[in-house]
Every structure is written in C-alpha cells, then in structure tokens.
Structure 1
Amino acid sequence: MTDWDLRKLRVLRALEEFGTVRATAEALRMTPSAVSQQLSSLSHQVGVALLEAHGRRVRLTDAAHVLLRHTDIVMAQLERAEAELDGFVRGEIGHVRVGAFATAIPSLVVPALHALRREYPGLTTKVHQADAAEVYDLLSAGEIDVGLSLAAQAPTAHDGRYDRRELLTDPLDVALPAHHRLACARTLRLGDLSGEPWIYGASGPWRDITVSACAQAGFVPEQAHVASDWRAILDMVAAGMGVALIPRLAATGDTPGVSLRVPRPEQPRRHVVTAVRSGAGEHPRIAVVLRALADTAGGLADSTVQYS
C-alpha cells in the first residue's frame, strides 16, 4: 500500500487551483524547484504520470484528477476527524464516571449532568452510588473519575493521591413531628431536644454527625430507632416516632407531617467535597464535569430555603 504524504497531495491540489508551478510556489511559500520536486516524487510513488507538457506549461493528467478526487474525500474526512478530536481537547467529548453518596445524587449530580447533556451531547457519563468513604476506594481503583464525598470522610491531608475541593456546605435541619410541642416555637436549640427519642443510623458518618452535633449541644441523644434511609427517617418522624437531624440536600420538597426547623444559634453542617485522583482535574472532560457540579452547588446555595 502506498505511504501517502499529505504535503505532496496538498501541492498537487494547489497546482490544480493556481494553474502554474510558479503561482503554486508563491501560494505555498515554496520555491518552484521544490514544488516540482514534490510533484515528481508523488508521481514516482503512485507509479503513474501526474503532469504532462502543455506548451510552455504543464497540466494535470487524467490520473492526477482521479487522485485529486480521492484526495478531496480524504481531506474532508480528516477535517471531520480534527473537529471531533478538538471536542476531546475542549472536554466536549468523552466519558466520565461520577461516584457520589445517596443524597448528593438527586440534588447535585443529576442536575449537573442534565445540564452537561444539553451543552455537550458528545460527553457521556455514568453515575455510581457509593458511601461517602467508599468514594476514595473507587477513585484509587480507577472505577470512577470524579467523587462526591464528605470532608469528614476524607483521607488525611498528607495523602497525596487525591485532589479535593469543597463543593457545598450542607446545613442540618431538625425534623420534628408537625404536632410536636416545639414545632412552632419561636426559636429552637438542639439542647431543647435532649429528652426526645432520636432516629439515626447504627454506624457510619450519619451516626457520627448526629452524636457529635448533640454532644456539642451538651447531651447524648437517646436512639429510639435505627435507620439510615432519609425517606424512612422522615416517615418515622411524621408518624411521631422521634426526631432527627436531616441534611438539607435530603429534605427536598414538602414532607407531610414533618416540621423542619433550623437549630439556633449554631446550626450543624456537613461539608460536601469533590475528589479526583491527583492531577486528573486537569483533563478537559473531568474539568467540565467539576465546573458543572460547582455551578449546580452555587445555584443550590443561592436558593437554599431557610426555615423559621
């Protein structure tokens, strides 16, 4: 198979366009002898004459016109390839896998990826739900490219395997039964709920967050029920079975039978972070996803509902 040289094909195309060797040389900023040498070499490669004498000039042979017809097709396809590859360079094409804990998916991940799908239809994504701490194992194993986790679950600051960035500060609201005696109180402190039955997980970050927040308020919460699914927790609160701390990301929409209150004066919060393998955030397709997540988080922060 012929080892095609695109530069020689472009010289042939220019000769057909400009008509003479001298004009071709001027257009391509070459010498006339260099143009003649390129065309002679191309003719030798393909094994057929591409030029023929025509008075004091030369003209393209029928074989040359056949070659140019195919050259135009090849050049057009290469232009398309270059345009498509530019999409990879700009992060508009590719595949990115996003791992996130459950409450981050509906409020952060889904809106961000939905916006990306509209803006960059050539960029595909895959979502992997995982516990906040598990995200780092998935990154290390190469199973995801971007992780959403909690700052409290991050490896030590000396671990150089990951680049982390705070994405969102998620307030923790108190969920009370709508008929609770404190549901309409002017102000509510966590300490006011020291004698109440509490609902939270048996282990993991949510137990730690609840116990820690109550400890800072000066009491140990009495665990009346064990649950880690937010829908189940809110349903139990609505049924009057206890109270709970609920991340605002999880308390989207109306929850009949539940009163959500902001504990004062210090509202506990959890810090949501993005994590990538060290240096990976510079890849255009990953940078595009990180920007979309940041934009979505910024919109949530601007529109966060403040309860009484």
Structure 2
Amino acid sequence: MFDLHRLRLLRELKHRGTLAAVAAALSYSPSSVSQQLSQLESEVGVALLEPVGRRVRLTPQAEILVAHTEAVLERLERAEADIATSLSDLTGTLRLATFQTAALALVPSALSLLRDLHPGLRIHVTQLEPEHALPALQARDFDLVIAEEYPGNPNPRPAELEQEDLLQDPLRLALPGPAGDADGPTAALRSLADHPWVMEPEGTAARHWAMTLCRNAGFEPDVRFETTDLLLHLRLVERGHAAALLPDLVWSGAPPTVPLRQLPRGQRARRIFTAVRRGRSRHPAIRGCREALRRATAEVGGPTGP
C-alpha cells in the first residue's frame, strides 16, 4: 500500500509547482521533500518526476496517483465533517480568505454572528485576491474562500472545489463629477474616453473585464492609477481625479458618495460566491460560516443609482 504522507507531498508538488514551494509550505527542507518523493517512486515502481530545465514536472503516472490521492483526501474531508457534526460544541479553527470589498462589507457582520452562535470556533481571516486564494484553497492553505467572477470572465472550476453562490453585486460607472446628459450606458462610458481612469492591476480578472467593457464602447481608457484597493478607487473618483467601475459593496449599504450610471446590459453585476474543497461542505464550521455570510449579505443593501 502506498504511503499517504508521500502521496500528499506529490499532490502538493502538483499544486505548488516546485519542491522549494512544497518545503516552505510544510516547513520541510527541499532535500527532505525530494527524498520522500524518491521513496514514493520506489514504492510505485515507476518514475513520478521528470526534469524540465531546473524544475521538475509530474509524469503521467504521477498524475494518476494525484487523482486517486484527491479522492482519498475528499473522503477524509467527509470523515472529518462527520466527526465534527457528531460533537455538541463547534470548536477548532476555520481559515477564511476573502477579497477587500467582501472583507469590509460582509465579514465583520458574519464574524459577530459566529461569535454569538459558536464562541468556541476560531476564525482566521486573510485578505487575498481570488486569483491567489482559490489555488491556495486547493493547496489546503484555507478552508473557505470568498471569491468573485466578473461578467463574461468565468473562472476555472476545478473538480476538486465546490462553489456556492452568495450574491450578485451590481457594478456601476462612477463619475468624477456631475452626471452628464449621455444617452444610455454605452454613451456614458464613451463620454469619459478622454478622462483618466483608475483600475485594478494588469493580470486581474477585474482589469480584463474593465478593459473589455471600455473597448466595446469604442475607446482605449487612459489608465493612470492601478491598485486593488477599491477604497482608493472611490477616493480618486470623489476628488475628481479618475473615473472608475465600482461594485455596490464598496459602500457597505451606505448612500453612494459619487454620481453613478448603469453599465450596458449583461455587464451590470459580478457574481460573488464561496468555495470549499470537495467533501468539506458538510463540515459544521463551513455550514455555519456560509450561513453567517448569507445573513450578513441580507443585511447589506447596495446603493441605488440611475
């Protein structure tokens, strides 16, 4: 029978990419990880790694082993959930990763609810963009992730993860001055073709969506400010320095502080969802946190705009 610990190291290598990353994540030395994987190769009787330049990659036989390891770990996740469900008190630590606007608008209220309902449960929260949080969830760095998906930019849906919708968060054009007389959403965008813009950095899903939106309106935006901090986006709009595309959650239910305009149809909301590893959704800590987030969502009403 193959050693589960070594199989998990092989799985970690698939998700983290390098022996050094596996070693750093698990507090091992790279030589120790390499030795354990060599022993696994001896157990299996076939090569599991092959050199590619200065790195290594998994062989087809290693990929088969990782797929079976995922199934074993999913079953163990279910076992852990069943044990936790059998207990009267909910304890332990739940590791939550979330992006900024959800962290500000939803997480504090959810934490208050969880503190009242499950005082023995410890919640560890990390602010991390979905592009990094979802792979880290697969790598077992987190137990639950709050993530976002922009219109026309669907996220990959790995078989190892289970997703559950939380809300549709409206997206609007935020004007750096009084609302003009543009006739319709596309014209409103086009009216800002010569104005500076603030957007999220290159490589993010939000930036790709925003650039596509502007290009479909017929112009290339003059992006002078780049940051993942949407509160800075808002501040720049408030001071008249930039136009922006802002989600309603940025106001956390308070009245908007800048003029807003609707976006073209099909581009008016981002999907916000929670994700867990397959087999873990039945864990009472996951169920409790998801329920608290749903209740926090119900408490937040987005701003209204034209």
- Cross-structure match for 2:15: none
TM-score normalised to structure 1 length: 0.62
**Contact 1:262–1:306 at 8 Å: present in 2 too?**
no
Q: C-alpha deviations, 1:243-265, integer Å up to 9, x for none? A: 11011112334565x32333355
SS of 1:307's equivalent in the other structure is coil
Rate the CA distance shift 1:136–1:297 in 2: closer, same or farther, 3 A.
same
CA distance in 1 between counterparts of 2:84 and 2:95 reads 21
Cα shift at 1:280: 0.4
Rate the CA distance shift 1:181–1:259 in 2: closer, same or farther, 3 A.
closer
The alignment yields a C-alpha RMSD, in angstroms, of 2.8
Instruction: Compare CA radii of gyration and give the structure with the larger one.
Output: 1
Rate the CA distance shift 1:147–1:114 in 2: closer, same or farther, 3 A.
same
Amino acid at match of 2:118: Y
- Cross-structure match for 1:146: 144
**Contact 1:199–1:244 at 8 Å: present in 2 too?**
yes
Rate the CA distance shift 1:208–1:261 in 2: closer, same or farther, 3 A.
same
- Cross-structure match for 1:117: 115
CA distance in 1 between counterparts of 2:246 and 2:106 reads 17
Rate the CA distance shift 1:171–1:181 in 2: closer, same or farther, 3 A.
closer
- Cross-structure match for 2:281: 281
SS of 1:198's equivalent in the other structure is strand
Q: C-alpha deviations, 1:158-197, integer Å up to 9, x for none? A: x2111011211111122112x4352x87865433433432
**Contact 1:93–1:124 at 8 Å: present in 2 too?**
yes
Amino acid at match of 1:111: S
The 5 Å alignment of 1:202-217 reads: 202-203=201-202, 204-217=204-217
- Cross-structure match for 1:45: none
- Cross-structure match for 2:97: 99
- Cross-structure match for 2:292: 292
**Contact 1:91–1:284 at 8 Å: present in 2 too?**
no
TM-score normalised to structure 2 length: 0.62
CA distance in 2 between counterparts of 1:136 and 1:151 reads 12
Q: C-alpha deviations, 1:211-254, integer Å up to 9, x for none? A: 12223434332223333322222222222222110111123345
Rate the CA distance shift 1:259–1:90 in 2: closer, same or farther, 3 A.
farther
**Contact 1:115–1:292 at 8 Å: present in 2 too?**
yes
In structure 1, list runs of 5 or more residues that go unmatched: 1-84
- Cross-structure match for 2:165: 166
CA distance in 2 between counterparts of 1:156 and 1:264 reads 25
- Cross-structure match for 1:193: 192
- Cross-structure match for 1:221: 221
The 5 Å alignment of 1:7-156 reads: 89=87, 92-151=90-149, 156=156
Rate the CA distance shift 1:91–1:139 in 2: closer, same or farther, 3 A.
farther
- Cross-structure match for 2:235: 235
CA distance in 1 between counterparts of 2:84 and 2:133 reads 31
Cα shift at 1:155: 5.4
SS of 1:291's equivalent in the other structure is helix
**Contact 2:173–2:261 at 8 Å: present in 1 too?**
yes
Cα shift at 1:101: 0.9
SS of 1:306's equivalent in the other structure is coil
Cα shift at 1:297: 2.3
Amino acid at match of 2:168: T
SS of 2:100's equivalent in the other structure is coil
SS of 1:166's equivalent in the other structure is strand
SS of 2:228's equivalent in the other structure is coil
| Aligned residue pair count | 218
Rate the CA distance shift 1:117–1:165 in 2: closer, same or farther, 3 A.
same
In structure 2, list runs of 5 or more residues that go unmatched: 1-82
Cα shift at 1:148: 0.7
- Cross-structure match for 2:22: none
Cα shift at 1:91: 6.6
Q: C-alpha deviations, 1:53-89, integer Å up to 9, x for none? A: xxxxxxxxxxxxxxxxxxxxxxxxxxxxxxxx98863
**Contact 1:190–1:264 at 8 Å: present in 2 too?**
no
